[in-house]
Amino acid sequence: MSTAMKVKSNREKLRISDLHAFYGESHILHGIDMVVNQGELVTLLGRNGSGRSTTLKAIMNMVGKRTGSIMINGHETLDMPAHKIAHLGIGFCPEERGIFASLNVEENLLLPPKVRSDGMSLEEIYDTFPNLAERRKSQGTRLSGGEQQMLAMARILRTGANILLLDEITEGLAPVIVQKLAEVLTKLKERGLTVILVEQNFHFAAPIADRHYLMEHGHMVEEIKAHELGTKTDLLNTYLGV
């Protein structure tokens, strides 16, 4: 293998090839292809029902059936159970957040097992999310929507996951919280973490993303690099109505 090819393979964190996904008899994803490199933030854009969330769940083997290939850190994961996929460094933050409402913030953070050794310490978490430091003894039921979202992301970072799958993290949140999340994602990129972001708020995603994959009816219809956004406005309007 040439030096250039070695560098490329070392940077490549996720490669999806001809991915099909099913819920029962329903065929949701139709031959998805995408590549995400270390330190990139990549978005999946599209209308509701386009297959964006299913793509994240398919990566985690949380759909009924998958065919094709999903390579994570050089490992084929198509036949792996979800818990083993997590141990490859994948952290999934679902749209419903999934925090434990009866536990306080710190208990939520300490509960998940570490999948890798370089997860953030509690001190780093509280430095990144000052709101959580202030609410560390508050139960999940007493947190605002924005604080719940921060906690859901922070819990993943505690595990040592370095590939983050984030599903609609800004939905229903106040603009000041959305801005905070943008700052956090920028810092995570600087640390070398890789992010795949399903996002309806294009104006949030556009300034922080390196590339955008545009989806429609379970197909990838376009890949748009950050510097191409200005020339792809009509295409984005067609598929997103932004």
- Choose between 53 and 5: higher pLDDT: 53
Residue closest to 44 by CA, chosen among 36, 32, 33, 52: 52
Distance CA 115, CA 94 (A): 18
pTM above 0.95, yes or no: no
Q: What are phi and psi of 5, to 5 degrees?
A: -70, -35
Sheet of strand 219-225, all strands in order from the earlier edge strand to the far edge: 90-93, 163-167, 194-198, 41-45, 211-216, 219-225
88 dihedral zone (left: phi>0; alpha: psi -120 to 50; beta): alpha
- pLDDT classification of 242: cutoffs 50, 70, 90: low
27 pLDDT tier (thresholds 50, 70, 90): very high
The whole-angstrom separation of Cα 6 and Cα 85 is: 23
d(CA 200, CA 182) in angstroms, rounded, equals 14
Q: Assign 121 to helix, strand or coil.
A: coil
Crossing angle of helices 175-190 and 145-159, in 10° steps, is 10
Please write the tens of the pLDDT for every residue from 157-195.
999 999 999 999 999 899 999 999 999 999 999 999 999
More confident residue, 112 or 222: 222
What does the pLDDT look like over 38-52, one tens digit per residue?
A: 999 999 999 889 999
Fold category of 12-240 in CATH: Rossmann fold (3.40.50)
In sequence order, the β-bridge partners of residue 92 are: 165
pLDDT, tens digit, 9 for 90 and up, residues 77-133: 999 999 999 999 999 999 888 888 899 999 999 998 888 878 899 999 999 999 999
Residue 20 has what pLDDT?
98
Distance (Å, whole) CA 171 – CA 200:
8
Of the chain, the percentage scoring pLDDT greater than 90 comes to 77
Nearest CA to 146 among 121, 186, 180?
Answer: 180
| Average pLDDT of the residues in 60-72 | 97
The one-letter code for the residue type at 20 is H
Q: Taking the CB of residue 189, how many other CB atoms lie within 10 A of it?
A: 17
The 10s digit of each residue's pLDDT in 131-156 is 999 999 999 889 999 999 999 999 99
Q: Does residue 67 contact residue 17 with C-beta atoms inside 8 Å?
A: no
Mean pLDDT of the chain: 91
